[in-house]
Structure 1
Amino acid sequence: GFGYWPGAVEPTPWATAYATHLLIEASEAGFPVAPERIDAALSWLDSDVEGSGKAPTPGAAAEEAYLYYVLAYGKHPKKARIGALLRALPDRADLDGALREARYLLMAALYLSGDRRYEADLKRPDLSPIEMDRSHGWTFYSDLRFRGLALSVFTDLFGRDPAAEPLADLVARQVARSESRYYTTQELAWALSGLGRRVEVGAVDFDPPVLKVDGRIVPPSREDPRTKERSWAVARASEAKSVVLEIPRIEGGRLWLVQSSEGVRRDEPFTYGGQGLRISRRYLDEDGEPLDLGAGLSLGDAVQVELRITNRTRDRLENLALVDRLPAGFEIENPRLGRGMAADWIDPETLWSTEHMNLRDDRLEVFGALEPGETRTVIYTVRATAAGRFTLPPASAEAMYDPALWARVKGRQIEIAGPWDDYL
């Protein structure tokens, strides 16, 4: 099986189903994937669902539907259990979104198992308006994810059947409403996967494309001689007067251009405060007393950073990410390397029992869950390793699968004095 976090020692059912699904699709698309790896993952998933022992309830259907769909997709169907879960779902039109998603996936799993009794229902996907309805649990449900996943599944079962065109239009309009940062990775992955499956087959033949930036030909960073596909990476493209892609000849269909941009906008304003979450940040000395950063630090000083995060909602929130970025003059004292201050003033009862932590050169990333109204603390040590004036970036937190829940606190300017400053 597959774990959720890097270095995980125990597989998780949902992560295993998701990774296995994509490995099967990659193999079918011609990418080199070891068949024994797929077989091992399917076998683990098979044994996990067999040993779950859960009664067939609506809650179990919501948790397990995707697992049974992937097993059926990988030719390991469990028809009896799928049927029992379908019968456990209330037979009414006003089911909540997670149960509607479960019903669709279970019907699709039966279809893949050779049972076609729900074919007509599968060809009538949910076309109601997409709501910003998101789950904070380990199924990563949202209404947009459901529609994108349903579109992807529909196309797997029935190809480019025109019955799915209204659903494709619905998903496309929803994705186009906002920038990608307002959507979760699950929403974007399945929405784009579903829409991508609807795209017609590309051109039969075409001349290799040529990219010109301000009239100058830019060589591709990658090209595939078999398909004539090319990729370019253009630094500071937004500053160019013209960026033109020329394709002299296209025969037998269309070509599709995928364009992405990344970078930092100049003078981009930060929004501070939060919605659903609250964080604070303090800098303390080795005795736990607040430091006055306005008075400056000295090269070599060790500083305790205290971050507090609060869940201000009435729900348990999973998959929270707390990120504290560092100025260039700070370096994290990594306890994993045998460094770091073990302060006796820290109350262990207040510390956040996190699920995963990344210690990087420029930031600390902490991931975990909070109960309704719960406040927890993260404390780590940094050392002043370079003298000068630096910008301390903001600290932020968010629910990774619900960007509407967030918090951010301001940064500031700090000064680190070197031992030579007294002589200047």
Structure 2
Amino acid sequence: VKTNNGFKVVGPSSQKVAFAQPDEKVVYFDLEVGDINGIGKVTVTATSGKEKASYDVEIDVMNPNPVTVNYKELVLEPGKSATIGWEAFGVSGTNKAVLEVSSFPSIDFNRRLDYLIQYPHGCLEQVTSGAFPQLYLADIADIDQSRKNKIQKNVTAAIQKLSQYQVANGGFSYWPGNMTPDDWGSSYVGHFFIEAERKGYALPMNAKKQWLAYQSKTAKQWRYNEGYHNDFAQAYRLYTLALAGSPDISSMNRLRETGGISNESKLRLAAAYALAGQKNVGLKLLNQSSIEPDDSRYQYYYYGSSERNRAMALETLLLLGQKEKAFAMANKLAKQMSSDQWMSTQTTAYCLYAISKFAQGNGPKGIDIQYTVKGKSATITTAKTFADRVLSADGKTVSIRNNKKSTLYVKVVYSGVLPIGQEQVEQRGLGTDIVFKDRKGQVINPSVLSQGTEFIAEVTISNLKNESVDNVALMQIIPSGWEIVNTRFTDFGDFADNKVDYTDIRDDRTNFYFPLKANESKTFRILLNASYPGEYYLPGVQCEAMYDNSFLARTQGQWIKVVR
């Protein structure tokens, strides 16, 4: 047996097997996994007399811990020089460092965009959010052709994936396979499709036509329901129809004359009127509104936040030609985006989208710097607003000189994956408990299990607050030596009838998505099999509310063994 740097053979790397007649036998080699992330390769060679055969096996070597990101930043005045230092951390092969330079206050574009791209869950909103801001990166940033090609690949893949969420009536469901369209999500996907088509991307056949028919029919059938705060969703729907060149003026007028609609609805409706060529009506609505979001009721129902609603307000200000107000709003958003403040996928994507729209036609442009890493110097000269360059992760320092006559905003974003056992344990708003049982329901210790043992993991998630929470995501990653028994395709289909909105079963993990009422607990059961002898790491439970960072739980993992 031979390996690359992904594995190391522990003990003898060759063994002899004798056969008195045609037969098959099993021999075992102990392999130790290297401290890397990547593809491990094992070559098995069998020799008998003059005959020889070999087989290559490629195995993913993955650290289950999430990427940890940090940054250092400074403001560089005209003609000045400065140095930024950082300490690389994490497992070898996961370390990255990127130099970001902007002529506009930093919006942390790469860190925020990477968060969207690496987000592990795949609902309608998150797939859309991962691709949406990438449409505009080349417009505002100095990026090379390879990154442009990667963006094109990402956006095309997202468009194709989203087509799987479209249901018979033309709307889009929150999870694939669901038959009910998601109100806000259907408008959000359509918004993305329109912008992508304008950038030259091909949409699935009839997808846009069916979506337009659904939006138009739903807009006409809409009735105000104060209990569901559905005026904001209607305003966004009407905005997307206007953006698509099919404004529904009568429905827009009906919403405008409806009493009690929210501030956010008025601002979104103002944008719809501007797109429909009635800017004067849009300005009247703007004057009746506050550009500062003031009603949290309208955030949670539609995956939003105050920052997301500010980003939508920024877009409205741009459409109505309110440059001074737009500049002030863009600066406020940039400050929030460059901070450590948590943002959901929806908030992150819409902020990046709105700031990109702003940067295309407003604000200072142009970058001219010289930077030095490990004794090697390079320059960045561009007319774009933003530029970045990948640095050597172990460079530790970078010196930058600003050759422009305007202020530049400089940041080094560095990241890595923490070693096994060093994951960050957190708990707020959610309680977790995991118990392992045999098929008879008796509690067992998973530390050492015999090969072939079939057992059950019971994970209980508790809402510790006196308020309900939607869109909770539970991710349980399993050790490489265990296998998930997908009970949907076995005789045990009913035993794990977990009450969830959606279940995503993969080779190495099971994801559950569900709501929790105030102080409610839910238990989820996963059927497992101890399949491969060896010592492996069982990651802790990871659970979060995808749109509310006050609900989060991560627990410590443990080492387990599967024995023959």
Q: TM-score, normalised by structure 2?
A: 0.59
State the secondary structure of the residue aligned to 1:278.
strand
Match of 1:197 among 357, 373, 380: 357
C-alpha offsets along residues 48-72 of structure 1, whole Å, 9 cap, x if unaligned?
23334x2465823133221121112
Shift of 1:304: 0.2
Alignment-derived partner of residue 487 in structure 2: 335
Measure the CA separation in 2 of the matches of 1:128 and 1:313: 29
Aligned amino acid, residue 30 of structure 1: G
Alignment-derived partner of residue 166 in structure 1: 328
Shift of 1:355: 1.4
Aligned 1:103-118 pairs, distance under 5 A = 103-115=266-278, 116-118=280-282
Measure the CA separation in 1 of the matches of 2:195 and 2:288: 24
Alignment-derived partner of residue 280 in structure 1: 433
Aligned 1:180-259 pairs, distance under 5 A = 182-200=342-360, 214=374, 237-241=392-396
C-alpha offsets along residues 364-403 of structure 1, whole Å, 9 cap, x if unaligned?
1111112222222210111112222222111021110112
Measure the CA separation in 2 of the matches of 1:88 and 1:132: 20
For structure 1, which segment, 368-377 or 254-263, has the greater mean C-alpha deviation from structure 2 after superposition?
254-263
State the secondary structure of the residue aligned to 1:238.
coil
State whether structure 2 residue 543 is matched by structure 1 residue 397: yes
State whether structure 2 residue 425 is matched by structure 1 residue 271: yes
Alignment-derived partner of residue 89 in structure 2: none
For structure 1, which segment, 160-169 or 387-396, has the greater mean C-alpha deviation from structure 2 after superposition?
160-169
Shift of 1:265: 3.1
Match of 1:362 among 508, 518, 531: 508
State the secondary structure of the residue aligned to 1:283.
strand
State whether structure 2 residue 298 is matched by structure 1 residue 144: no
State the secondary structure of the residue aligned to 2:470.
strand
Asked if 1 retains the 8 angstrom alpha-carbon contact of 2:485 and 2:528, the reply is yes
Alignment-derived partner of residue 387 in structure 1: 533
Asked if 2 retains the 8 angstrom alpha-carbon contact of 1:396 and 1:409, the reply is yes
Asked if 2 retains the 8 angstrom alpha-carbon contact of 1:123 and 1:163, the reply is no
Aligned amino acid, residue 175 of structure 1: M
Asked if 2 retains the 8 angstrom alpha-carbon contact of 1:136 and 1:319, the reply is no
Q: TM-score, normalised by structure 1?
A: 0.76
State the secondary structure of the residue aligned to 1:2.
coil
Aligned 1:304-315 pairs, distance under 5 A = 304-315=456-467
Measure the CA separation in 1 of the matches of 2:431 and 2:506: 23
Asked if 2 retains the 8 angstrom alpha-carbon contact of 1:211 and 1:243, the reply is yes
Flag the 1:415–1:86 CA change in 2: closer, same or farther, 3 A.
same
Shift of 1:260: 6.7
Asked if 2 retains the 8 angstrom alpha-carbon contact of 1:56 and 1:84, the reply is no
Measure the CA separation in 2 of the matches of 1:255 and 1:156: 27
Flag the 1:37–1:269 CA change in 2: closer, same or farther, 3 A.
closer
Aligned amino acid, residue 281 of structure 2: R
Alignment-derived partner of residue 415 in structure 1: 561
Alignment-derived partner of residue 445 in structure 2: 292
Shift of 1:268: 4.7
Aligned amino acid, residue 148 of structure 1: A
Alignment-derived partner of residue 153 in structure 1: 316
Aligned amino acid, residue 502 of structure 2: H
Alignment-derived partner of residue 82 in structure 1: 252
Shift of 1:330: 1.3
Measure the CA separation in 1 of the matches of 2:417 and 2:221: 49
Aligned amino acid, residue 535 of structure 2: R
State the secondary structure of the residue aligned to 2:393.
helix
Shift of 1:130: 8.4
Measure the CA separation in 2 of the matches of 1:307 and 1:135: 30
| Structure 2 unmatched runs, 5+ | 1-170, 379-383
Flag the 1:136–1:307 CA change in 2: closer, same or farther, 3 A.
farther
Aligned 1:93-108 pairs, distance under 5 A = 99-108=262-271
Measure the CA separation in 1 of the matches of 2:189 and 2:413: 25
Asked if 1 retains the 8 angstrom alpha-carbon contact of 2:183 and 2:233, the reply is no
Asked if 1 retains the 8 angstrom alpha-carbon contact of 2:270 and 2:316, the reply is no
Flag the 1:130–1:118 CA change in 2: closer, same or farther, 3 A.
closer
State the secondary structure of the residue aligned to 1:118.
helix
Alignment-derived partner of residue 113 in structure 2: none
State whether structure 2 residue 25 is matched by structure 1 residue 25: no
Measure the CA separation in 2 of the matches of 1:259 and 1:20: 35
Flag the 1:114–1:30 CA change in 2: closer, same or farther, 3 A.
same
Measure the CA separation in 1 of the matches of 2:317 and 2:548: 26
Flag the 1:86–1:305 CA change in 2: closer, same or farther, 3 A.
same
Asked if 1 retains the 8 angstrom alpha-carbon contact of 2:263 and 2:293, the reply is no
Aligned amino acid, residue 152 of structure 1: E
Measure the CA separation in 1 of the matches of 2:327 and 2:372: 36
C-alpha offsets along residues 348-377 of structure 1, whole Å, 9 cap, x if unaligned?
6xx4x2111111122111111122222222
Aligned length: 384
Flag the 1:119–1:131 CA change in 2: closer, same or farther, 3 A.
closer
Asked if 1 retains the 8 angstrom alpha-carbon contact of 2:534 and 2:562, the reply is yes
Measure the CA separation in 2 of the matches of 1:48 and 1:84: 14
| Structure 1 unmatched runs, 5+ | 92-98, 219-226, 420-424
C-alpha offsets along residues 78-125 of structure 1, whole Å, 9 cap, x if unaligned?
23333333333438xxxxxxx221121122223333332231553797
Flag the 1:114–1:156 CA change in 2: closer, same or farther, 3 A.
closer
Aligned amino acid, residue 26 of structure 1: A
Name whichever structure is richer in strand by fraction.
2
Shift of 1:312: 2.8
Measure the CA separation in 1 of the matches of 2:313 and 2:299: 17
Asked if 2 retains the 8 angstrom alpha-carbon contact of 1:392 and 1:414, the reply is yes
Shift of 1:335: 2.2
Higher relative contact order (CA 8 A, sep 6+): 2
Measure the CA separation in 2 of the matches of 1:397 and 1:372: 16
% identical aligned pairs: 24
